[in-house]
Amino acid sequence: MRMAALGVALTALLSHYRRHPGQLAMLLLGLWVASALWSGVQAINASARDSYARAESLFSAQLDRIERRDGQPVGLDAYLDLRLTGQPVSPVLEGRITLSDGSRLDVTGIDPLTLPLDSGFRTAGGDQSLTQFLQPPYLTRVAPETHARLWPSDESTPTADNGTPLPPPQVASELPPDLLIMDIAAAQALLGRSGPSHLLVAPDTEVALPEGLRRTQAVNLAAPGQLTDSFHLNLTAMGLLALVVGLLIVHAALSLTLEQRLGLLRTLRALGVSGRALVGLLVGELLLLGLLGGGLGLLSGVWLAKWLLPDVAASLDALYDARVGQALALPGYYWLGGLAVTFGGVITAGFGTLWRAARLDVLSLGRAQAWRGQFQRQLKRMAIAGTLAWLVALGLWGWLSQLPPAEGLALGFTMIAALLLGSALWLPPLLACVASGVERALRHRPLAQWASADLQLQLPRLSVAMMALLLALSANLGVGSMVGGFRLTFLDWLDQRLVADVYLSVPDRDTGEDLAEWLVAQPEVAALLPRSRAETTLNAAKGQIPSREVAVYGITPHPSLTAHWPLKAQLDTPETAWDAFTAGDALINEQLALASGLAPGDRLELASPTGPIERRIAAVYPDYGNPRGEVTLTQADVSQRFRTAPDSFGIILAEGSAATGVDTLRERINQRFGLGRDSVIDQRDLKTQATTLFERTFAITRALTVLTLGVAGLALLTSLLAQTAQRRAQLAPLWAIGVARRPLVATGLFQLGGAACVTALLAVPLGIALAGCLVAIINVAAFGWRLPLHVFPGQIAATLGLALGAALLAALWPAWRLWRTSPRELLTEFDTQ
Amino acid sequence: MTSTFRRLRWLALGAGLLLLIALATWQLAPPPHERSSESFAGLGEAAGDYAQARPGTPLAFPADHGPHPDYRIEWWYLTANLEDEAGTPLGIQWTLFRQALAPPGARSDEPTDAPWASRQLWMAHAALSTPQQHLVGERFARGMSLPERRAQAGVTVSPFTAWLDHWQLESLAGESEDAFDHLRVSAQAEDAGQSFGYRLELEAEGPLVRHGDDGFSQKSADGQGSLYYSQPFFQVSGEIEIDGETRPVTGQAWLDREWSSQLLGANQHGWDWFSLHLDDGTKLMAFRLRGGGQSSDDPSGHYVSGSWITPEGELTALDGDMLHLEPLERREVAGRQVPTRWQLTVPERGLDIEVTARQAERWMDTAFPYWEGDVSVTGSHPGQGYLEMTGY
């Protein structure tokens, strides 16, 4: 066929949208929304990955790390002693500064003269000489986005809150954001500390270390990319859900436009357009729509990502210590991938349409609404497919319960997807069933019976919108109860865990001893709970668990602590567990228990500077928000075996002095010991900070679910709008036989409200099941801790109300249109038929 | 400008190397021929506010064995021709370079509470040459002013010690002797996965010698120069080690001390420097600065100079009219054409010798690369020694 003829045919096809601009708008809207949410999430992930890649290529991630076992800074003497015996270690001074504008930044001071030459430092760019780097006023190497934020103009000189200006900037695009790299001399002035905080050494170099130092191999340093995988998978799953819901709208709209163009298609076929050419034209149309909607979606996605990114970045920083830029970094694959996903979605959503167009029977002109006859068969197929999806979900559930809990993240999401899909597929048969049941039950109420029968006729098209509503509602319920449950549990846990009124971090051993002595003598101090930390290796037990790096935490089992500190699993009662702990047993956190399979009663072996130590596990404790495995021993035990001094004190204030005691104590400690203002931490501040962090983390999830629900409401509205004209033809006879417009409108609202109610009722158990999966599988795999399942009736009621409201709101516009339809128009319906 | 600008001589490595490592991208320097307009290692920079090396500056010991922080560059440069019990010729190099990053007055040299802030950089090279191998190590450090303990690198006068990390040159001399009369040098390093090291004792059999005009060694017709003295009379004994295998060795060593603030002239792009132990006990130092000229009227030629040192330690300065240096043969080393056989003549003394590199492959692939290796001497005055060539 010639191009001109094809062009005419395409124009004829597209002319449909000129007559029905609403359908075009609905199609584009569906595509736009689906691709916006999806690409927004992907933009966040891509930016984060970019930041991680930069962090991982940084020299510090490629070199082995040498630290003191007690976590204190390594210090100048230890560094020089190593150098003078020929050990090729390089000093690093790390810390965090607060700028005078209140923003906090990481500072890494390095010594380029001793840094191993093959390390990534060289690759981290820069075009100025080493001399400038090493000499006043020094240089600050920063990522471009951080540079733009801190040095908005050439004249700006950001200043740390101790009054020291930052050295002049040098942009290095390979650096992760919010990190300032400078010479160790400059970092020392900025941070007010002199000795290195840790040392670096090339991975293949042997180093003889004194006992107090330990080396962590670069490969064992937790890479932010690995830690945060689960977080990003969660985001991706949310984005995927939004994409599916959006594509459901597209599917509904496409089915409608095809159906209304069946006559046109037949005419075109009869005029000699080949079936293949026709399908080709329809594909072209879809691609055009995909390009337009996808393009719009990508742009809005970027906007959405910009809006969400600060929260995401703050969460990742606080949860995993992973720095993510506040500015989007979008690689080329992001744009291409976004468009590809949209195209893929459009083609998938339009596949049914294309299939029917390809098999179009030129002669069957009489059955304009051809697909409705097939609906019964389609319902059966849906029921079968839905059952299959459920079976898959059930099978996965069975498999997951066999797997170690930490490994089921992707499978868990697959299971949830199967569960949701199965339920969505079951919705139309269920609705049909309910409608026909109601129809039989209301035999003696003709209008109601008609309404039920009519609803069954509407189902083929409504069902897709209802499926979207079901998915959105259950996701909303599931995520809502997970977030709500977490908040309850987490707040309790914080209360129990933060026993002391004040926490005081100790700069060094001597100050620590002086402080302890002084504090005990203070009248407002009721008890002093020293804490220590160390890093070590959990040795492999005979073939049972692999060796892993763990944190060792030393606490003081004072009654005020043991009475509250939450335990999750213990052999006997918490009291006996604490007795055993005081007598030398260990506690492990839930993350370690889940990852290693260790349980109370088992024995574990830790490497220590005084030789391997074996301990029985007395109990497991919840440790929300900690990505790492941790073993807790008594502080005295940790100090003795790991040769560390307390690094902080929990201070319990005497009755009655808690309210004013904190501030006066802080004042006096600062006066006497001159510790920085960050050393004394009020427990209340700590709680606020922790709560804010988690609120932020979940704000993202909730924002996404609310947006998804919005998409579903939109789907419903567009489906209804699309069939308004058609509905008129079916309502006209009723009107003609004497049913007034008011009951007609009310009937329509009831029909839709009823369908929405059934959908919402199905969404409740599905939402609870989803919440169950989230807390029992996804969270455990993603974060390493399990939450109790909480169900919030109030929240469920609110969601049901929201669904009903959305449905009625969506029905209102068509109802209003019907209300406004003049009798003359209704009469013309008979003319056209 | 030209008249106030200078050139300098050999040695130098130290200095600007660092500046250049720095180079823009923290990458290795591009091959010198790509930067032929620059002097080697940036040694042609103006002295600025640094102290100037001038004729008539008296040398005083032991103070001058120590560092001169007000000068831009300085080095303690030791080379030794050794042989093991089987008579295998071996060579070692031990060098400590000091480079000031800022002129005096810009920063305090006094100990402060900011130990990392310093205007001095240190660099050390250690090399061990066998007929089969050339093993090279390199280390860097910043100067640190620590009142109570040894820093990562530095030089102390009393007792004399020069060190960077565990590479060390220390005096074993008694109180009545000069610090350089009896030294011990040690280094331990790794090159391409192979460990090597040496531990040698050096016994001086002659006095310190002052080059040029009583220690002022002129480097160009413009009058620029350095302060330069040597101890060329060391007898060596000790041991070397390769991959854990030690061998006792004996031989001769030569220690150079030099400091200056003004380096190569704009037209000088490298040098060839010889320190030779002749079999009759004579020591010969000779260098050729390429480009820059013998006189200010002839900037295109080479600036040639040297010292004739009798076994008793009497030094006669040689200028370009008395001393002639000619490359006889070039070999490709590390992608460059490097002269590995030379003719040296001092007609006045009846000296006509050929100096040949024992091995061509003595390339120092350090941050700033150069050629440094042991040589054998044939002709009127046979012997052995060391040759250093830069800027190829």
Which pLDDT score is estimated for B205? 94
Query: Is residue A216 assigned to a domain?
Result: no
Residue B359, min C-alpha distance to chain A (Å): 28
Whether B116 sits inside 8 A of A183 (CB atoms) is: yes
> Searching chain A, which residue's CA lies closest to the CA of residue B103?
A135
Q: Which chain A residues are Cβ-neighbours of B118 within 8 angstroms?
A: 185
Tell me which of A77, A79, A80, A92 to substitute to probe the interface with B (most B C-beta atoms closer than 10 Å).
Answer: A80
Reported as a single tens digit per residue, the pLDDT across A541-579 is 655 667 777 888 888 888 888 888 888 888 888 888 899
Query: Is residue A217 assigned to a domain?
Result: no
Does A128 lie at the interface with B, CB-CB under 8 angstroms? yes
Q: Which of A647, A678, A709 is the last residue of a domain?
A: A678
**Distance, CA of A443 to CA of B7 (rounded, Å):** 113
Which pLDDT score is estimated for A123? 38
Which pLDDT score is estimated for B37? 39
Domain with A207, as residue range(s), is 71-211
Which pLDDT score is estimated for A16? 84
Among the partner-chain residues B25, B107, B166, the one whose CB lies closest to the CB of A84 is B166
Whether B166 sits inside 8 A of A189 (CB atoms) is: no
Domain ranges of chain B: 2-389
Residue B91, min C-alpha distance to chain A (Å): 22
Query: Is residue A225 assigned to a domain?
Result: no
> Searching chain B, which residue's CA lies closest to the CA of residue A79?
B152
Same domain, A115 and A129: yes
Which pLDDT score is estimated for B30? 31
Q: Which chain A residues are Cβ-neighbours of B151 within 8 angstroms?
A: 80
Whether the link from the prior residue into A112 is cis, omega within 30° of 0, is no
Which pLDDT score is estimated for A360? 65
Hey, what are B230's tokens? Answer: 């040597």
The residues, any chain, with a CB within 8 Å of residue A221's CB and separated by 6 or more, are A61, A65
Same domain, A516 and A605: yes
Q: Average the pLDDT over B80-98 and give the result.
A: 95
Among the partner-chain residues B19, B27, B151, the one whose CB lies closest to the CB of A122 is B27
Q: Average the pLDDT over A590-595 and give the result.
A: 84
Reported as a single tens digit per residue, the pLDDT across B102-149 is 887 765 544 456 788 888 889 999 999 999 999 999 999 998 878 778
Query: Is residue A795 assigned to a domain?
Result: yes
Q: Which chain A residues are Cβ-neighbours of B136 within 8 angstroms?
A: none
Alpha-carbon dihedral A27, A32, A33, A36, rounded to 10 degrees: 160
Exposure of B174 by Cβ count < 10 A (0-12 exposed, 13-18 middle, 19+ buried)?
exposed
Whether A113 sits inside 8 A of B142 (CB atoms) is: yes
> Quick one: DSSP state of residue A165?
B
Contact in structure between B279 and B255 (CB atoms under 8 Å): no
Q: Average the pLDDT over B140-159 and give the result.
A: 88
**Distance, CA of A301 to CA of B210 (rounded, Å):** 77
- Angle A683-722/A446-497 helices, nearest 10 degrees? 160
Does A130 lie at the interface with B, CB-CB under 8 angstroms? yes
Q: Which of A648, A678, A708 is the last residue of a domain?
A: A678
Q: Which chain B residues are Cβ-neighbours of A130 within 8 angstroms?
A: 18-19, 21-23, 26
- DSSP-derived secondary structure for A495-543: HHH--SSEEEE-SSHHHHHHHHHHHHTSTTEEEEEEEEEEEEEEEPPTT
Reported as a single tens digit per residue, the pLDDT across A478-524 is 877 877 777 777 777 777 777 788 888 777 777 778 888 888 888 88
Strands B216-218 and B209-210: unpaired
Q: Average the pLDDT over B41-49 and give the result.
A: 62
Hey, what are A441's tokens? Answer: 């039950």
Assigned architecture for domain B2-389: Beta Barrel (2.40)
ipTM attached to this prediction:
0.85
Does A75 lie at the interface with B, CB-CB under 8 angstroms? no
Query: Is residue A234 assigned to a domain?
Result: no
Query: Is residue A219 assigned to a domain?
Result: no
Which pLDDT score is estimated for A435? 87
Chain A residues 166-185 with a CB less than 8 Å from chain B: 183-185
Among the partner-chain residues A76, A113, A125, the one whose CB lies closest to the CB of B121 is A113
How many domains does chain A divide into? 4
Tell me which of A90, A130, A206 to substitute to probe the interface with B (most B C-beta atoms closer than 10 Å).
Answer: A130
> Searching chain B, which residue's CA lies closest to the CA of residue A86?
B166
Among the partner-chain residues A128, A134, A184, the one whose CB lies closest to the CB of B101 is A134
Q: Average the pLDDT over B226-240 and give the result.
A: 95
Same domain, A673 and A551: yes
Instruction: Flag whether pLDDT at A361 surpasses 60.
Output: yes
Among the partner-chain residues A77, A85, A194, the one whose CB lies closest to the CB of B149 is A77
Residues B339-354: b if buried by 16+ CB within 10 A, e if exposed: bbbbebbbeebebebb
* Mean pLDDT estimate for chain A: 79
Same domain, A50 and A116: no
Reported as a single tens digit per residue, the pLDDT across A750-775 is 888 888 888 888 889 998 998 888 88
Residues A87-98: b if buried by 16+ CB within 10 A, e if exposed: bbbbbbbbbebe
Instruction: Flag whether pLDDT at B201 surpasses 90.
Output: yes
> Among the listed ranges A607-616, A801-810, B278-287, which one has the minimum average pLDDT value?
A801-810
Of the pLDDT bands very low, low, confident and very high (cuts 50, 70, 90), residue B38 is very low
Instruction: Flag whether pLDDT at A460 surpasses 50.
Output: yes
Total Cβ atoms within 10 A of residue B69: 17
Same domain, A390 and A284: no
Same domain, A582 and A705: no
Q: Average the pLDDT over A324-333 and give the result.
A: 70
Which pLDDT score is estimated for B169? 96
Share of chain B above pLDDT 70, in %: 82
Residue type, A586: A
Same domain, A342 and A285: yes
Instruction: Flag whether pLDDT at A825 surpasses 70.
Output: yes
Q: Average the pLDDT over A638-664 and give the result.
A: 78
**Distance, CA of B13 to CA of B11 (rounded, Å):** 6
Q: Average the pLDDT over A786-807 and give the result.
A: 82
Q: H helices then E strands: how many in chain B?
A: 1, 23
Q: Average the pLDDT over A104-121 and give the result.
A: 75
Instruction: Flag whether pLDDT at A452 surpasses 60.
Output: yes
Give the rounded distance of the alpha carbon of B211 from its chain centre: 14
Q: Which chain A residues are Cβ-neighbours of B146 within 8 angstroms?
A: 76, 80
Among the partner-chain residues B19, B24, B152, the one whose CB lies closest to the CB of A80 is B152
Instruction: Flag whether pLDDT at A29 surpasses 50.
Output: yes
**Distance, CA of A553 to CA of A579 (rounded, Å):** 18
Whether A128 sits inside 8 A of B115 (CB atoms) is: no
Same domain, A366 and A380: no
Which pLDDT score is estimated for A625? 66
Tell me which of B26, B113, B144, B190 to substitute to probe the interface with A (most A C-beta atoms closer than 10 Å).
Answer: B26
Which pLDDT score is estimated for A219? 64
Contact in structure between B14 and B123 (CB atoms under 8 Å): yes
Same domain, A600 and A661: yes
Chain B positions contacting chain A at CB under 8 Å are: 18-19, 21-27, 101-102, 107, 113-119, 121, 140-142, 146, 149-152, 163, 165-166, 188
* Mean pLDDT estimate for chain B: 83
> Searching chain A, which residue's CA lies closest to the CA of residue B16?
A131
Instruction: Flag whether pLDDT at A41 surpasses 50.
Output: yes
Total Cβ atoms within 10 A of residue B58: 9
Which pLDDT score is estimated for B286? 95
Same domain, A124 and A168: yes
Same domain, A542 and A659: yes
Q: Which of A658, A678, A698 is the last residue of a domain?
A: A678
Q: Look at the alpha carbons of B318, B320, B324, B330 in this order and tell me if their dihedral is positive or negative.
A: positive
Tell me which of A84, A108, A170 to substitute to probe the interface with B (most B C-beta atoms closer than 10 Å).
Answer: A84
Same domain, A587 and A460: no
Tell me which of B19, B116, B144, B150 to substitute to probe the interface with A (most A C-beta atoms closer than 10 Å).
Answer: B116
